Amino acid sequence: MYAYEHALDTTAPAAAVWARYAAVNDWTAWDTGLLQVDLEGPFEVGTEGTMTPAGQHTVRFRIVELVTNELFTDETVVAGMTLRFIHRLTETETGTRVVHRVEITGPGAEQIGPAVTSDVPEAMAALVKLAEES
């Protein structure tokens, strides 16, 4: 198993960050590692979609956990591995703590993990900036 976690504090309220999460088809505005994302229904547990990471084939993902303004997890199964992307928001005295955690299980997890998570801090910084501007 491979696990990675990054946290970032922002002055933006959780609802402003959540609005960026819920606009799934616009994730490319803050995650430059994605070329395209399409959600095939509402932003809720069980909804599936596709995403095309830069330099990779398009993969399917599914929302497996969601609590509005607090948490959502999406999951992708590819090449015998399960990739779980956990996004958590916690209110703070000055705004919100944003935590992104990636858990990869299956053969090859340790090898691909660093590549999958290399741009997480950059993506989170862009996400927070957009939330603060809204």
Residue extents of the structural domains in the chain: 2-133
Tokens of 45: 């547990």
Residue 18: phi and psi, rounded to 5, are: -60, -40
The Cα 116–Cα 97 span in angstroms is 22
Cα–chain center distance at 48: 14
Rounded CA-CA distance 64/60 in Å is 13
Residues 15-43 pLDDT 10s: 999 999 999 999 999 999 999 999 999 99
- 134 has a pLDDT exceeding 90: no
Quote the pLDDT of residue 124.
97
Q: What DSSP assignment string belongs to 17-53?
A: HHHHHH-GGGGGGT-TTEEEEEESS-SSTT-EEEEEE
Return the sign of the alpha-carbon dihedral for residues 11, 16, 21, 26.
Answer: negative
Q: Which of 58, 1, 69 is nearest to 35 (CA)?
A: 58
Q: What is the pTM of this model?
A: 0.94
Residue 4 above 90 pLDDT? yes
Give the mean pLDDT of the chain.
96
Q: List the CATH code of the domain at 2-133.
A: 3.30.530.20
Strand partners, 76: 83
| Location of structure tokens 């990779």 | 56
